[in-house]
Amino acid sequence: MAMLKTILGNLLRPSRTRAPADMPVVPPTYRGALTHDAGRCTACGTCAFVCAPKAIHFTQEPGISVSWHFFIGQCSFCGLCEQNCPTRAIHLRADIPGSMNSAGGDGLRLESVIHLQPCTRCGAAHVPLPAATMDALWAAGADEAERGYCPDCRRWAASARLRTAFTPDGAVAEGGRHDR
Amino acid sequence: MPYSFPLGPYHPALEEPFKVKVQCKGEVIESATVEVGFSYRGIELLAQKRNWVEVITLIERVCGICSNTHAMTFCMAAETIAGIELPKRAAHIRTIIAELERLHSHLLWAGVGAEDIGFHSLFMEVFTLRERVMDTLEAISGNRVNYGMNCIGGVLRDIPDPAAHLPALDALAKGLGEVVIPTFTQNPTALARTRGVGRLTKEQAVEWAVVGPVARASGLDIDVRKDQPYLSYADLDFESVVRPEGDVLARVVVRALEMMESVRLIREALLSLPPGPLRATQGLPEIPVGEATIRTEAPRGEAFYYVASEGGASPARVKIRTPSFVNIPAIEPMVMGQPLADLSIIQASVDPCISCTDR
């Protein structure tokens, strides 16, 4: 009799197996497909430093470009590259990793090329700062000409500004170019 | 005529390789030898070759079930060396994740245990409940297994809306209280396979130095959460569960009641989540010269970490002693004089985690 009750109860209840449409919501924190924004990347190497399985590495063509490489076969989706990226160039989206742009043609690799720019002062090729960082730094009304400077020239310009502030006549000897 | 019977290294119920070689006379086991080391990965040595950030990701992969415990204990050791004080909110979030992990680990065990005694419908019930825990973990951390919540000095992810996870806890408490616990403790089929089986007396438990639910099921009241409270356990009034019988049923009951306690702890921690920062430090960690030993209560018992730093980019030594490392040898006294058919459930009852043991 008890068995009959159970069977009847089971027949009247809806199915407990989830239908394909009734999937749990993918949380916004889900660590899925990885994207890299070359416009934000400064090639600082933090992502490669924190990547335990060494899925990320950099190569460079001196004077022309720096390339960021990612191999999904080694990725453990820990998300530390995203967490530690100082310019938020890396993002793990909440969707399943799909096929990627791949030089090898296997769809498992992601490459992104960061083109070097010549410094407008000394001509040295350098990785430009991300546009957002530049806007934030130059919002205070710094010299627009310094936007195209390489890090060394930016340092030189900052030190020149400091010297001008200390010397009353404001005369700064030209020619303080760093060694290249 | 006496014969020897090798069970494993590929276990019929568990996913991981370990071997129990038993000497039988008829149907009765006379002696047993346990062999481990089939999935050795050399994580302790690898940890000395990785920097402090990478080691957390590496250590999290010591175990596939209690992954968070390992990363958390390692971070606690590094924080002790560097003298970093954990923010209150981070301690609460770590407690919540640790207890959710205990829930999913114990539910996994209850499912595997039910499977081992041939109770498939109970396995289904248990794994339906476990799915709720996994969904909650995924909603908080973004991953079902390796949560990646810990960093040295705090946690990486917040719980922005604690109240959203309460319905899952209610469903869990209901399922545990109305289905899982009554079935394990009252169903004649389950009782016939667990009561009085695989007994480990209190004296044997001390002699074999077992930890965690196995020790507590033999009447030893040891629990790091109570004896040496860490994280938020002192604030949440944790109470340990102890049973004196020492058989498989007692281990089931200890784990079941611990799950109820975990649900209560998670609910209280979610409701009393203090405001504040998630991390005490920013940027990449710098660990000075020093050493630290930390004990935490993993789902299977006491996890012990010794971490030494020489001030460099990598740890100088990471020594890991996992609870299964001491619990697995205790299978030997448990199976003596037991029928061969009970070997499977007895060895499953210590909840052996082989990848932890082999590291």
pLDDT digits 0-9 by tens, A68-124:
888 888 888 888 888 888 888 888 877 776 656 555 566 677 888 888 888 888 878
- Calculate the dihedral angle through the C-alpha atoms of A68, A71, A72, A74, rounding to the nearest 10 degrees: -120
- Cross-chain Cβ contact B138/A49 below 8 Å: no
- To the question of whether residue B320 is assigned a binding role by annotation, the answer is yes
Ramachandran class of A69: left when φ > 0, alpha when ψ lies in -120 to 50, beta otherwise: beta
Q: How far is CA B288 from CA A168, B102, B242, in A?
A: 45, 32, 41
- Cross-chain Cβ contact B51/A78 below 8 Å: no
Mean pLDDT, range A123-141, rounded to an integer: 77
Query: Which of A51, A53, A78 lies nearest to residue B148, judging by beta carbons?
Result: A78
Tokens of B142: 């973004």
- CA-wise closest residue to A85 among A48, A113, A137: A48
Looking at the domain assignment, is residue B214 inside a domain?
A: yes
Strand order in the sheet with A109-115: A56-61, A65-71, A109-115
Question: b/e string for B170-200 if b means 16 or more Cβ within 10 A?
Answer: eebbebbeeebbebbeeeeebeebbeebbbb
Which CATH code for domain A27-115? 3.30.70.3270
Say whether pLDDT at A132 is over 60: yes
The interaxial angle of helices B120-141 and B88-116, nearest 10 deg, is: 160
Residue owning tokens 């900052």 = A158
Instruction: Report the residue of B51, B52, B54 to disrupt the A interface, i.e. the one with the largest count of A CBs within 10 Å.
Output: B54
- Cross-chain Cβ contact A30/B142 below 8 Å: yes
pLDDT at A97: 66
Which DSSP helix (H) or strand (E) runs through A107? none
Q: What DSSP string runs through B70-111?
A: HHHHHHHHHHHHHTPPPPHHHHHHHHHHHHHHHHHHHHHHHH
List residues bridging with A111 in a β-sheet. Answer: A69
How close A155 comes to chain B (CA, Å)?
23
Contacts (Cβ under 8 Å, ≥6 apart) of B27:
B339, B340, B341
pLDDT at B103: 92
Q: How far apart are CA B97 and CA A80, in angstroms?
A: 18
Query: Which of A27, A78, A84 lies nearest to residue B146, judging by beta carbons?
Result: A78
Looking at the domain assignment, is residue B3 inside a domain?
A: no
How close B143 comes to chain A (CA, Å)?
6
Which ipTM was obtained for this model? 0.73
Looking at per-residue confidence, does B45 or A24 come out higher?
B45
Say whether pLDDT at A174 is over 70: no
Strand duo A125-126 + B28-35: pairing: unpaired
pLDDT at A39: 80
- Cross-chain Cβ contact A27/B139 below 8 Å: yes
- Cross-chain Cβ contact B53/A53 below 8 Å: no
Sign of CA dihedral B87, B93, B95, B101: negative
Which DSSP helix (H) or strand (E) runs through B296? strand B289-298
- To the question of whether residue B356 is assigned a binding role by annotation, the answer is yes
Q: What is the CATH number of the domain that holds B169?
A: 1.10.645.10
Domains in chain A: boundaries: 27-115, 118-136+145-166
Q: How far apart are CA B154 and CA B177, in angstroms?
A: 34
Instruction: Report the residue of A77, A78, A83, A95 to disrupt the B interface, i.e. the one with the largest count of B CBs within 10 Å.
Output: A78
- Cross-chain Cβ contact B142/A52 below 8 Å: no
For residue A165, report the phi and psi dihedrals to the nearest 5 degrees. Answer: -65, -30
| Residues of chain A with C-beta less than 8 angstroms from the C-beta of B53 | 49-50, 52, 80, 84
Looking at the domain assignment, is residue B316 inside a domain?
A: yes
Q: How far apart are CA B127 and CA A91, in angstroms?
A: 33
How close A44 comes to chain B (CA, Å)?
13
- Cross-chain Cβ contact A49/B284 below 8 Å: yes
Query: Which of A16, A46, A80 lies nearest to residue B57, judging by beta carbons?
Result: A80
Question: How many residues in total does chain A contain?
Answer: 180
pLDDT at A177: 53
> B138 — contact with chain A (CB < 8 Å)?
yes
Q: What DSSP string runs through A44-101?
A: --HHHHH-TT--EEEEEETTTEEEEEEEGGG-----HHHHH-TT--EEE-SS------
Chain-centroid distance of CA B20 in Å reads 21
Q: How far apart are CA B345 and CA B198, in angstroms?
A: 9
Looking at the domain assignment, is residue B148 inside a domain?
A: yes
For residue B297, report the phi and psi dihedrals to the nearest 5 degrees. Answer: -95, 100
pLDDT at B77: 92
Looking at the domain assignment, is residue B312 inside a domain?
A: yes
pLDDT at A168: 63
Which chain A residue is nearest to residue B148, measuring alpha carbons? A78
Tell me the mean pLDDT per 10 residues along chain B, length 359: 80 74 86 85 89 89 87 91 88 91 91 85 88 88 86 87 87 88 86 85 89 89 86 83 88 90 90 87 84 90 90 88 88 87 84 83
pLDDT at B107: 92
pLDDT at A101: 55
Looking at the domain assignment, is residue B126 inside a domain?
A: yes
Mean pLDDT, range A40-69, rounded to an integer: 86
Domain that holds residue B59: 40-326
Number of domains making up chain B: 1
How close A119 comes to chain B (CA, Å)?
29
Which chain B residue is nearest to residue A54, measuring alpha carbons? B54
Within 10 A of A51 (CB to CB), how many other CB atoms are there?
A: 22
Looking at the domain assignment, is residue B187 inside a domain?
A: yes
Number of separate helices (H) and strands (E) present in chain B: 16, 8
Tokens of B74: 């390692």
Say whether pLDDT at A180 is over 50: no
Chain-centroid distance of CA B210 in Å reads 13
The share of chain B scoring above pLDDT 70, in percent, equals 99
pLDDT at B74: 92
